[in-house]
Structure formats: structure tokens, C-alpha cells
């Protein structure tokens, strides 16, 4: 017997026996396979023979008369009967592999991501109502005054102002606004208008002309137009434009900014006594939001219930600053409710004509609060698409107009992230070491003849210090060209500001250094160059600074002095607004500054002495 005690010889013997049994099994399988193959081959041959015999018999039958059977046919039939009595052959089994295995399973399908939506569809997500159907206007478009239905008086006033053609925003908007009635029908559908247009494109006249034209038909003075602006200087400028247009109409125009005493402004706004529906002395009021809130809260008989137009210029800035939640309060006063009537009867009662009819109390059956007839007009170079800010406006059937450069077209979805600037504007940037920034500014003013110029700094203190430096430089400089430099700051009295801007306009002052105070709306036609001495914090500030030049179709250049450590921030800001390609880089070599170095060193020494005494 084979050993099974676990020794090596016993294990080897067992292994040999296993191999021998495997070989025997394999031999038997091969023999059976050969037998099956031989049987199948014989069967195939027999079938072929039978088929051949049947074919021969069929041929003979066709050749012989019917009913005669040959001996061969009888023999063939007997052979077929014998074959049928024999045992059936083994079925034809196909060759099988040595080892059978199930077919491999298909892999379980992995989850697949849904196809990405089209970029245009994504960009339209969250757009405010009406923005997707915005009207796009070519910035270069012009139209004669005869294309819009202006009265002869207004046409003459525009001619006196030097306006002989309409800019794009005016040509697009005036046909819609001039057709508006002074007194709309009850429950009429009154759309609101939102206009995004580059700075200097004529937005002020786009609303001033229709406001004056529509209100000129009024009989009784009521406060029917309220224009809200962010700064006092803008208020003064817009009021002057309105007064020029309204000559001969009898319209009463006023402004409240806080420059005069509160009592003086109250006397300008309303009459004495407690008159039902308020007693307004003005038809058009131009105001800053803070002072407007003061009068809504503290001036009796001051009412907005008759308001026909609410104009918000520089809307992006006004909507981002709360000013005592001014927007919500103004809108509430244009829609008097029963609750408001209990607290401010002079603002919430019905119109004066309702008194003789006994309808002033609104206590009769089926009475409804009077519907607001106020239409909103919003203007800005950087109009927002923020849903929260747009919702706060409580817009009714909003209609958007977007003025753009056709060479750099924008989509409605780009509103608020991309900005349009005048096509006549040339934009340039200098990247330089911080120590050379004042010297490069001097180089721009003298070598590039960058005057008349507005120079923007980050603060009033920086503006004052820079003006001192430039004045010391001009005192020490022995070159032929002398430059007059002045500062424009919030600390100046209004009369002093107006005098400075007049001197700048007539050429007595070459360079005005300021903070972002005048970066909004102020129209200075003589500005040919804007220099951002300090980099703007965001694209909105950049747009409003650059927009002080290249206004009303004139050419202009915007320069930005960027310190090396600020270059990445500035480039990212431009790239985020898809504006990087429009800004050209200018290189200035140090040897080009050598001619100003001596005078500059003297100016810096005097500046250190000046501030050292403080």
C-alpha cells in the first residue's frame, strides 16, 4: 500500500497517482470525442448517400411512365424501411470545450452626468423680469431732432443749448416717454424704464426733456416729478439743465440738498396751512436722498401722492446706499394706504376734487385706494441686476434699454458684470514702482501734454498732498510750460466749487486733483484726460472715473498709474469685466524722467518740510 504517513515519499506517490488518474480520464474523454466525431462523419456520409439515391429515383420517375416501378425503386424502398426499423443514430452534438464556464457578466453601468446646459441658458438664470427682452441700442447712433415729436419751444431750447442731434440713448427713449399722458387713465398699465448707458452719453437730457414736455401741460402746480441724485454738485447741474429747458413753460423747479437751512427749503417746497392733498409750490424737485427723507418726515403738507415721474440717476450708487431706507419710504408715499392715512393725513388723502363729491373719506361701499400714477425712470452706466435690489424698486412691467458699443457687444446677462464705455475713449495703463509714481504723473502732464486733466486719488488727504507736491514742482521747474493745479474736495464751499469748475472750463486751471467726489455725473466738457493716480477699488469706480472724459462724442484718454504690487488686482478687475483687451500698456523708461528729476527732488524736500512742521 502507498505510504500515507505524511513523509515526502508518500506525498510524491499520491501526486503521481493523481496525475495518472487525470491522464486516464483525459484519454477516455479524447477517445469518446473521436468516436463521436467518427459517428457524425459516418452519419453525414449516409445522409449524403440517401439524398443521392432519392435524387436518382426522382430522375427515373420523371423519365418512366406513371405507375411502373422498377426493381431499383423496390430495392431502395426496402432499404429505407430497414433503416427506419434500426435504432436512431446518436444526435449530432457540437464539439464542447474541455471545461465549461458561464459567460462573463456585463459590468453594472456607472452613473453618468446629465448634459451641461447651454452657456446662454445659464447666463440667463436669475435675470430680473424684462431684462431678457432688453432693447439694445448702438452707441454710435445719432438722430436729428425732427425724428421725435418735440414742441417748437423745446426744440428752440435745445438749439440754444447747442444740441442739434440726439444721442443714442435719447433717440431710443424719447419716442416712448414723450407719448406719455400727464394724467393716465384709471388702472392704466404704466411701464417703468431702466436705462444702462455709458457715461457722457446724454442720459440727463434723456429724462429732462420728456419730464418738461409732459408736465408743461399742467394747470395747477403739483409735485409731479422727483429726481433723486447722489451728490449736491449733480443736483445743481441737473437743476440748471431743467431750468434752461423749462423757460416759458411756467414750471416751478426747486432743489433740496442741505446747502440751505431747513426752514428756507420748507418755504420753497410748500405753502402755509393744512390743505387737503398738500400744497406744493413746485412741479419738479431735484434732491439728494438724505435731505428728501428729512422733509418727508418733518415738513407738513409735503406730499408725493401726485408724483408722475420718479427719476433715479446714478441708480447703482443710490441703490447700494441706504440713506435711512429712502427708497422704501419714497415708494410708500407714492402709494398712500389707509394705514398711512392715520399717521400722515396730508399725504394719504384723496385728491382735492374728491371733497365736493363726498369721496375724500373713502368710506363708501366699493371704494378703493387711489392707484399710483408714478412711473420710475432709472439711469446708470453700471445698472445692477441684483435681484434683491431690483425687487426693492417694485417695478411695474419693466423695460430695459442697453446702450452699447457694437464693436464690443454685450448680452443682457452681462448687465452688472460687463460695462460699456464711450467708443471715443482711449484707455492706457502705466505699471511702475511706487517711488516713481509722482514723477510719472509729472511726466504725463508735461511730456504727453495730458491737460486739461482730472486726477483721481483715493482720499481727500491724498488729493491735498498731491496738489502741494505739484505746486512745489511747478515753482522749482524751469521749463517753458507751467501748469496750474487745484484741489477739488468736499471741504470746499459750494460757491468755491462752482468757481473752480468755471476756471477749469475756461482754461485758467489745467489740472484738478480730486477724490471720487466728482466721479459721478458731473459734466466737464473740457476734460481731455483722466488720470487714476490711485487704482480704483472696483470696475464701477473705474467706469465712472474714465467717464469724465470722452463725453458727448468727444475724444478722451483715461490713464491709470498702477504700482507693481497692484498689477495683479488691476488685471483681474479688468478681466472679470471682460475689458482687459481695451486697456493698452504704456512703458516709460527712467531716462525719460531725468529732465524732471532735479525739480522733483526739490519739491519732495519742500513737501517733507511742509508736513514735518505739522
- Bridge-based pairing of strands 511-514 and 453-456 is parallel
In a 13 Å sphere around the CA of 111, the CA atoms on its Cβ side amount to 2
For cell 431502395, name the residue. 76
Report the alpha-carbon distance of residue 210 to residue 207 in Å, rounded: 6
Is the model's pLDDT at 369 over the cut of 70? Answer: no
Residue 288 contacts residue 256 (beta carbons within 8 Å): yes
Least confident of 36-50, 105-119, 229-243, 493-507: 105-119
In this prediction, residue 438 carries a pLDDT of 95
pLDDT band at 169 (very low <50, low <70, confident <90, very high): very high
In this prediction the pTM is: 0.71
Is the model's pLDDT at 82 over the cut of 60? Answer: no
Q: Where are the beta strands (DSSP E) in 305-447?
A: 309-313, 375-380, 399-404, 425-432
Measure the N-to-C terminal CA separation of the chain; round to a whole number of Å: 120
**Torsion-angle region of 397 (φ positive above 0: left; ψ -120 to 50: alpha; else: beta):** left
Which residue(s) pair with 178 in the sheet?
none
**Which grid cell sits at 367?**
371704494
Reduce the DSSP state of residue 94 to 3 states and report it. Answer: coil
396 vs 119 pLDDT, higher one: 396
Predicted confidence (pLDDT) per residue in 541-599, tens digit: 898 899 888 887 788 999 999 999 999 999 999 998 888 999 999 999 989 999 999 99
Report the alpha-carbon distance of residue 316 to residue 600 in Å, rounded: 40
Per the document, the length of the chain is 614
Q: How many CB atoms lie within 10 A of CB 358?
A: 9
Reduce the DSSP state of residue 370 to 3 states and report it. Answer: coil
Residue 376 contacts residue 207 (beta carbons within 8 Å): no
232-257 mean pLDDT:
94
Predicted confidence (pLDDT) per residue in 117-139, tens digit: 777 676 666 677 777 788 888 88
209-214 mean pLDDT:
97
Amino acid at each position: 500500500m502507498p505510504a500515507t504517513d505524511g513523509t515526502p515519499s508518500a506525498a510524491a506517490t499520491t501526486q503521481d497517482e493523481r496525475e495518472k488518474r487525470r491522464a486516464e480520464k483525459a484519454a477516455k474523454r479524447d477517445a469518446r470525442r473521436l468516436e463521436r466525431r467518427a459517428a457524425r462523419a459516418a452519419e453525414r456520409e449516409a445522409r449524403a448517400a440517401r439524398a443521392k439515391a432519392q435524387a436518382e429515383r426522382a430522375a427515373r420517375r420523371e423519365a418512366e411512365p406513371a405507375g411502373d416501378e422498377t426493381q431499383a425503386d423496390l430495392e431502395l424502398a426496402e432499404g429505407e424501411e430497414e433503416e427506419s426499423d434500426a435504432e436512431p443514430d446518436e444526435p449530432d452534438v457540437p464539439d464542447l470545450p474541455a471545461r465549461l464556464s458561464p459567460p462573463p457578466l456585463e459590468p453594472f453601468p456607472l452613473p453618468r452626468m446629465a448634459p451641461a446646459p447651454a452657456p446662454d441658458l445659464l447666463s440667463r438664470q436669475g435675470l430680473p423680469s424684462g431684462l431678457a427682452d432688453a432693447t439694445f441700442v448702438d452707441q454710435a447712433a445719432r438722430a436729428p431732432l425732427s425724428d421725435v415729436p418735440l414742441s417748437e419751444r423745446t426744440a428752440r431750447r435745445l438749439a440754444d443749448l447747442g444740441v442739434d442731434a440726439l444721442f443714442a440713448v435719447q433717440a431710443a427713449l424719447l419716442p416712448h416717454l414723450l407719448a406719455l399722458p400727464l394724467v393716465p387713465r384709471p388702472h392704466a398699465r404704466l411701464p417703468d424704464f431702466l436705462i444702462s448707458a455709458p457715461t457722457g452719453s446724454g442720459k440727463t437730457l434723456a429724462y429732462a426733456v420728456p419730464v418738461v414736455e409732459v408736465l408743461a401741460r399742467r394747470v395747477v402746480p403739483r409735485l409731479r416729478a422727483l429726481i433723486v441724485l447722489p451728490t449736491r454738485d449733480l443736483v445743481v447741474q441737473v437743476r440748471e439743465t431743467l431750468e434752461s429747458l423749462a423757460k416759458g413753460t411756467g414750471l416751478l423747479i426747486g432743489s433740496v440738498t442741505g446747502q440751505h437751512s431747513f426752514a428756507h427749503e420748507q418755504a420753497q417746497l410748500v405753502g402755509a396751512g393744512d390743505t387737503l392733498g398738500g400744497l406744493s409750490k413746485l412741479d419738479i424737485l431735484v434732491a439728494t436722498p438724505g435731505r428728501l427723507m428729512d422733509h418727508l418726515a418733518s415738513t407738513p403738507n409735503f406730499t408725493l401722492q401726485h408724483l408722475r415721474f420718479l427719476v433715479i440717476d446714478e441708480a447703482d450708487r443710490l441703490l447700494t446706499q441706504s440713506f435711512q431706507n429712502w427708497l422704501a419710504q419714497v415708494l410708500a408715499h407714492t402709494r398712500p394706504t389707509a394705514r398711512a392715512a392715520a399717521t400722515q393725513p396730508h399725504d394719504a388723502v384723496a385728491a382735492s376734487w374728491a371733497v365736493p363729491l363726498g369721496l375724500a373719506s373713502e368710506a363708501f361701499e366699493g371704494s378703493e385706494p387711489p392707484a399710483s400714477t408714478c412711473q420710475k425712470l432709472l439711469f446708470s452706466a453700471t445698472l445692477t441686476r441684483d435681484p434683491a435690489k431690483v425687487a426693492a424698486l417694485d417695478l411695474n412691467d419693466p423695460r430695459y434699454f442697453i446702450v452699447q458699443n457694437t464693436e464690443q457687444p454685450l448680452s443682457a446677462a452681462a448687465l452688472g458684470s460687463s460695462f460699456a464705455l464711450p467708443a471715443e475713449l482711449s484707455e492706457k495703463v502705466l505699471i511702475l514702482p511706487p517711488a516713481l509714481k509722482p514723477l510719472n504723473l509729472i511726466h504725463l502732464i508735461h511730456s504727453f501734454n495730458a491737460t486739461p486733466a482730472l486726477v483721481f486719488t483715493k482720499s481727500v488727504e491724498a488729493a491735498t498732498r498731491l496738489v502741494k507736491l505739484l505746486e512745489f514742482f511747478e515753482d522749482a521747474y524751469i521749463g517753458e510750460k507751467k501748469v496750474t493745479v487745484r484741489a477739488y474736495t468736499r471741504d470746499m464751499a459750494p460757491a468755491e466749487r462752482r468757481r473752480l469748475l468755471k476756471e477749469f472750463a475756461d482754461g485758467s486751471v489745467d489740472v484738478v486733483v480730486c477724490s471720487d467726489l466728482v466721479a459721478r455725473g458731473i459734466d466737464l466738457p473740457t476734460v481731455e484726460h483722466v488720470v487714476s493716480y490711485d487704482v480704483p477699488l472696483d470696475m464701477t469706480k473705474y467706469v465712472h472715473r474714465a467717464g469724465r472724459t470722452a463725453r458727448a462724442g468727444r475724444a478722451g484718454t483715461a490713464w491709470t498709474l498702477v504700482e507693481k504690487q497692484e498689477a495683479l488686482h488691476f488685471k483681474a478687475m479688468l478681466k472679470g469685466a471682460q475689458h482687459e483687451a481695451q486697456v493698452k500698456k504704456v512703458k516709460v523708461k527712467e531716462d525719460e524722467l531725468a529732465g524732471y528729476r532735479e525739480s522733483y527732488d526739490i519739491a519732495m524736500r519742500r513737501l517733507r518740510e511742509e508736513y514735518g512742521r505739522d
